[in-house]
Chains A and B, each alone.
Chain A
Amino acid sequence: MMKLKEVESLLGHDDRIWCVKWDPSGTLLASCGSDKTIRIWCKEGNSWITKTILTEGHEKTIRNIAWSPCGIYLASVSFDGTTVIWEKKDDFERLSVLEGHENEVKGVAWSVTGKYLATCGRDKTVWVWEVIDETEYECSAVLTNHTQDVKNVIWHPQEDILASCSYDDKINIYKEDDDDWICSGTLSGHLSTVWNIEFDSKGSRLVSCSQDKTVKLWRNTSNNHNTSNWECIHTINGYHDRAIYDISWCNLTGRLATTGSDNKINIYSEATDKNSFMIETSVTEAHSQDINTLTWNPKVEGMLASGSDDGIIKLWQIHE
């Protein structure tokens, strides 16, 4: 019987935690939250400690962060409407500030090549920035296909294809067309806000989690990544009592983890036909308040980090 066990609680943030992200090597964990700071955690000896605290970057809550695929850059977005790019040297250095969003920025992601950065926010737009050089970013598109607050953006794991999810209950897929970006597909099916989405490692499937307490599995039925013909092939229902805020798909084990405002973390395993998921284990009261974020370690099998409104980050490990 597989079990999810708490390894360690990381204390440090003064306010709710909005996002935790592992760097590509799986050795550093970045976290951000309402205390307007970013903390970088690493393991020393047997325990995890705060290596650096990045302050002076944002005026308001930091909602989301993303490591570049090379692991050198960290992008953070905030309710103050700005995106800040940090560079990891000996210490972290602030490289640029990207302005453009009208108000709260809520999602950020780097494309797999590191050539593009996407951000989204309450102004209902998704912005694609082209990385010209390390300090120079140019806006290459402002996509206004959503009719409401855009909650998050993610990139395809292999191609320059972008996906976003929104308060308008929809997921949009974008691709580059000539020298502009266009919306190549809309996935509707959720009955309420889609909080987060994630591609599998090949990019032919997508999972989404929503306020409607369900997780949906989508598959691109066309063979080519560039044409999008997505359909919902499975819905996971009944394992969360309240909104599901975050979902993470483990590249190493194929497991899915979900969490949300019912303070629960659920782990699902993939069925052999790859068309559905089955619940494996569930941790109730994993945190004392809403859990906003969780993410699998990309290198250590079965290691999970979660962050909550209670201001605590927890590390979990799967024991078979």
Chain B
Amino acid sequence: MRNLGMSEGFSSALRLTDLNDFIHPSQECTKPVEVKKPKIKGSKIKIGISNDGLYSQVDQDGDSVQLKKAQITLQDCLACSGCITSAESILITKQSNEEFLNIIKENKDKSKDYKTTIVVSISPQTFASFAAKWNLSIPEVSKKLSTFFKQQGIDYVFDTTFARDFSLYETANEFLERFKHSSSKNQLPLLTSACPGWICYAEKTHGEYILPYISTTKSPQQIIGSLVKDYLAVRLNKPTNLIYHLTVMPCFDKKLEASRDDFYNDIYKTRDVDCVITSLEVDSLITEQNVDLTKLPDSPIDSFDQTADYIQYSHSGSGSGGYCEYVFKRAAKELYQISSVPLNYRIKRNKDFLELSLEQNGEIVLNFAIATGFRNIQTIVRNVKQGRCNYHFVEIMACPSGCLNGGAQVRDKGDKVTPEFLKKMEEVYHAVPCQLPEENQLVHQIYSDWLEGPNSPKAKIMLHTQYHAREKISNGLEIKCKRKRRPWLGDLPIFKNHAPQQREQRLFEVKPFARASISLVTKMEDQRICIKFCVKNGFKGAEIFWMLQTAYGDAVMSRRRAFKWYKRFKEGREETADNERSGRPSTSTTPEKVDKVLELVREDRRITVREVTEEAGISFGSTQLIMKDILGVRRLNAVLVPKDLTFDKKNARKETASLNLEATTDDPELLKRVITGDETWIRKQPNRHRSGVSKMSRDQRK
């Protein structure tokens, strides 16, 4: 919860998808949990809670059928495009300084055989960030940071540049392979996969249209994850779950990447990367501990080669890893036998869009690009979708200027990385001697020792991954508006991600509900018209009501209402539609009442608006107004939550509660922002009870 403001650190591609909206999960959270409804005779069904605390459905005859609990896990949320990002915010709060300091603390008390080996892998962009801040070179600062982490109690400190060797090499292989088959569908352009912000955006919003073009190569972070949890684990003879792997990355998006299901090991219940912290978080850790980095002694970065020391190196090209440049060089060399190809970057449209091409006999044979920042991603995506992207390869990063400008790099001033500071980072980053991946002997050695050679099935598993189109879920009520797909929109991804039968099913579920609400309105108006007609014909009120009853049966309006309308028409009213409610002067939103409501909400964060209404003696509407507009408290979710607390859980709860209490004293504003915690991930029949939808204010609709 302390990470409420964290979403600001995400790349703009992710922020766009509702991320800083923590308190307000999207109304579209309709993770379509398939609820198999037991068949029940009769129309009147009650849902009750049986003695064992489970929900059951009781029909007219009293027969009860136990309802299945519909569960939504965080992973489900990650697979949805609705409130996804709020869930992600919660998920990544597990990845923080506190979390890994705790691991270290716990580890100290463990007996030798059960001790966890703690590994930290640091990205070169993080080194650049700290080098710029402390006015050191990257090799210097890496030794200081290594010391800093080892003083915390960490066993190994690696540099992810080494993993990037593999990432670059595999990306280039993939490109060359695709280039050979470039005449067939979905081969080129090859889009890079190292940026999780970009991957997440592509999966959520462009699905099947873009994913085939994205390189399957894992990012350096995930490759070092495999190296640590597989290669290193074997070498150290440790089970994977006794290795804790922490990475330090230049952006928050990397936390999401590490949490992906694809990088989870079911057998050992562990992830390739257990925890990701950012440059910014390490910086605050250093500040908290009052450490002067320059005064720390040196200790070397560890190497995967036991026999030699690790010497800092880098890859030429962009600060994001030089994907474009390396693949370009490899392609020129292997396809056109040019060993030192000229690298003339051209700025296209804006400074975050660079082109690199190779001409042969007046013809462009290789056309590469680096596109960074959200707007340039748009351009690429648009062109790829329309089949007119004439690049062979595009290095894509969500942050403008790439990873050195990552959202969680150390700030020099206030909360921003200034252009000068970015320039300084670029200088220190490019001052490190460069080397090609294939020049690194250790890479060759590990390919043969660990991966059974390049292109082996094991290399495929360890170095490649896959992507999943997130089904775009539309607001249930709007589905009825959708007509059959028009032919000319055929190449747009509006419905393609849906499996046809799923669509039908949802259509079926929503429709009756929508129709019911409409017919109710029209029926009421019908009745008013009847009343008006009768009034004009001189019938008495009671007679009219009796006639209405005969005509409409159960659906008749209440007696009181009928008489109200009778009176209105009698007085000469013509309009049968509801009066526009006039704006009554506000009498309820006095400071006292607001305070009262606030007090009530504070007392019970699960209080309903109706309960507040009764307690405070204010009208329903005003209560809503006070809660929404004045206090700004919002419902996180409105679903019943079964509570089966075991003793352990109760204890855990007690602990959480006291932690929360502490958090509240630290930050008095906290409670204003939070209504309820995370239990609401379990909900029943989400499709039926999406109460948020109907409560959307008129203002929001417009």
A:100-144 near B, CB below 8 Å: 100, 102, 106, 122-123, 125, 138-142, 144
Given the known interface contacts A60-B481, A140-B350, the answer about A100 and B494 at a Cβ–Cβ threshold of 8 Å is: no
Query: Which chain B residues lie closer than 8 Å to A141 at the CB level?
Result: 375
CA distance A243 to B492 in the complex (A): 37
Query: Which chain A residues lie closer than 8 Å to B18 at the CB level?
Result: 102, 123
- Which of B9-17, B50-58, B179-187 contacts its partner? B9-17
Give the shortest distance, in Å, between B383 (CB) and chain A (any CB): 9
The answer, yes or no, to whether A56 is at the interface (CB within 8 Å) is yes
Give the shortest distance, in Å, between A299 (CB) and chain B (any CB): 30
Cβ-defined contact, A139 with B15, below 8 A? no
Query: Which chain B residues lie closer than 8 Å to A180 at the CB level?
Result: 350
Cβ-defined contact, A140 with B375, below 8 A? yes
Chain B: residues with Cβ within 8 Å of the partner, total of: 31
- Say which residue of A59, A94, A138, A149 sits within 8 Å of B482 (CB atoms): A59
Give the shortest distance, in Å, between B349 (CB) and chain A (any CB): 7
The answer, yes or no, to whether B478 is at the interface (CB within 8 Å) is yes
| Chain B, residue nearest A132 (CB) | B349
A:284-320 near B, CB below 8 Å: 292
Given the known interface contacts A102-B18, A141-B375, A142-B374, the answer about A59 and B483 at a Cβ–Cβ threshold of 8 Å is: yes
The answer, yes or no, to whether A97 is at the interface (CB within 8 Å) is yes
The answer, yes or no, to whether A14 is at the interface (CB within 8 Å) is no
CA distance A241 to B585 in the complex (A): 11
Query: Which chain A residues lie closer than 8 Å to B15 at the CB level?
Result: 144
Given the known interface contacts A60-B478, A180-B350, the answer about A142 and B492 at a Cβ–Cβ threshold of 8 Å is: no
| Chain A, residue nearest B20 (CB) | A147
Given the known interface contacts A59-B483, A123-B16, A179-B350, the answer about A139 and B494 at a Cβ–Cβ threshold of 8 Å is: no
Given the known interface contacts A123-B18, A139-B378, the answer about A99 and B492 at a Cβ–Cβ threshold of 8 Å is: yes
Query: Which chain B residues lie closer than 8 Å to A97 at the CB level?
Result: 489, 492
Cβ-defined contact, B488 with A56, below 8 A? yes
Query: Which chain A residues lie closer than 8 Å to B488 at the CB level?
Result: 56, 94
Cβ-defined contact, B350 with A102, below 8 A? no
Given the known interface contacts A179-B351, A241-B583, the answer about A139 and B16 at a Cβ–Cβ threshold of 8 Å is: no
B:464-493 near A, CB below 8 Å: 478, 481-483, 486, 488-489, 492
Cβ-defined contact, A59 with B375, below 8 A? no
The answer, yes or no, to whether B75 is at the interface (CB within 8 Å) is no
Cβ-defined contact, B378 with A59, below 8 A? no
Cβ-defined contact, B351 with A102, below 8 A? no
Give the shortest distance, in Å, between A193 (CB) and chain B (any CB): 6
Give the shortest distance, in Å, between B16 (CB) and chain A (any CB): 6
Cβ-defined contact, B16 with A99, below 8 A? no
Cβ-defined contact, A167 with B378, below 8 A? no
| Chain A, residue nearest B81 (CB) | A102
Query: Which chain A residues lie closer than 8 Å to B205 at the CB level?
Result: 102
Give the shortest distance, in Å, between B571 (CB) and chain A (any CB): 19
A:236-274 near B, CB below 8 Å: 241-243, 245, 261-263
Query: Which chain B residues lie closer than 8 Å to A79 at the CB level?
Result: 478
The answer, yes or no, to whether A211 is at the interface (CB within 8 Å) is yes
Give the shortest distance, in Å, between B138 (CB) and chain A (any CB): 29
- A-B contacts counted at CB < 8 A amount to 69
Query: Which chain A residues lie closer than 8 Å to B481 at the CB level?
Result: 59-60
Cβ-defined contact, B379 with A138, below 8 A? yes
Query: Which chain B residues lie closer than 8 Å to A242 at the CB level?
Result: 580, 583
Given the known interface contacts A60-B481, A142-B12, the answer about A167 and B375 at a Cβ–Cβ threshold of 8 Å is: no
CA distance A262 to B350 in the complex (A): 47
The answer, yes or no, to whether B382 is at the interface (CB within 8 Å) is yes
CA distance A261 to B583 in the complex (A): 11
Give the shortest distance, in Å, between B81 (CB) and chain A (any CB): 9
A:39-71 near B, CB below 8 Å: 56, 59-60
Highest count of chain A CB atoms <10 Å: which of B350, B375, B489: B375
Query: Which chain A residues lie closer than 8 Å to B12 at the CB level?
Result: 142, 144
Cβ-defined contact, B349 with A138, below 8 A? yes
The answer, yes or no, to whether B699 is at the interface (CB within 8 Å) is yes
Given the known interface contacts A59-B483, A179-B349, A241-B582, the answer about A139 and B699 at a Cβ–Cβ threshold of 8 Å is: no
| Chain B, residue nearest A290 (CB) | B580
The answer, yes or no, to whether B700 is at the interface (CB within 8 Å) is yes
Cβ-defined contact, A125 with B375, below 8 A? no
Cβ-defined contact, B382 with A99, below 8 A? yes
CA distance A123 to B374 in the complex (A): 15
A190-210 Cβ-contact flags toward B at 8 Å (1 or 0): 000100000000000000000
Cβ-defined contact, B486 with A142, below 8 A? no
Query: Which chain B residues lie closer than 8 Å to A56 at the CB level?
Result: 486, 488
B5-39 Cβ-contact flags toward A at 8 Å (1 or 0): 00000001001111000000000000000000000
Query: Which chain B residues lie closer than 8 Å to A138 at the CB level?
Result: 349, 378-379, 382
Highest count of chain B CB atoms <10 Å: which of A94, A122, A179: A179
Query: Which chain A residues lie closer than 8 Å to B382 at the CB level?
Result: 99-100, 138-139
Cβ-defined contact, B16 with A142, below 8 A? yes
Query: Which chain A residues lie closer than 8 Å to B494 at the CB level?
Result: 59, 80
Give the shortest distance, in Å, between B579 (CB) and chain A (any CB): 12
Cβ-defined contact, B700 with A149, below 8 A? yes
| Chain A, residue nearest B17 (CB) | A102
A214-245 Cβ-contact flags toward B at 8 Å (1 or 0): 00000000000000000000000000011101
Given the known interface contacts A60-B478, A99-B382, the answer about A211 and B350 at a Cβ–Cβ threshold of 8 Å is: no
Cβ-defined contact, B486 with A100, below 8 A? no
Cβ-defined contact, A193 with B16, below 8 A? no
Query: Which chain B residues lie closer than 8 Å to A94 at the CB level?
Result: 488
- Say which residue of A60, A106, A144, A178 sits within 8 Å of B16 (CB atoms): A144
Please give the residue numbers on chain B whose beta carbons come within 8 Å of chain A beta carbons, in ascending order.
Answer: 12, 15-18, 205, 349-351, 374-376, 378-379, 382, 385, 478, 481-483, 486, 488-489, 492, 494, 580, 582-583, 699-700, 702
- In order of increasing CB-CB distance, the 3 nearest A-B pairs are A139-B378, A179-B350, A139-B375
Please give the residue numbers on chain A whose beta carbons come within 8 Å of chain B beta carbons, in ascending order.
Answer: 56, 59-60, 79-80, 94, 97, 99-100, 102, 106, 122-123, 125, 138-142, 144, 149, 151, 167, 178-180, 193, 211, 241-243, 245, 261-263, 292
For the A-B complex with A102-B205, A144-B16, A179-B351 known, give 4 more contacts whose Cβ atoms are closer than 8 Å: A139-B376, A139-B379, A142-B375, A241-B582
Q: List 10 A-B contacts (CB under 8 A).
A: A97-B489, A99-B492, A102-B17, A138-B349, A138-B378, A141-B375, A142-B12, A142-B374, A211-B699, A242-B583
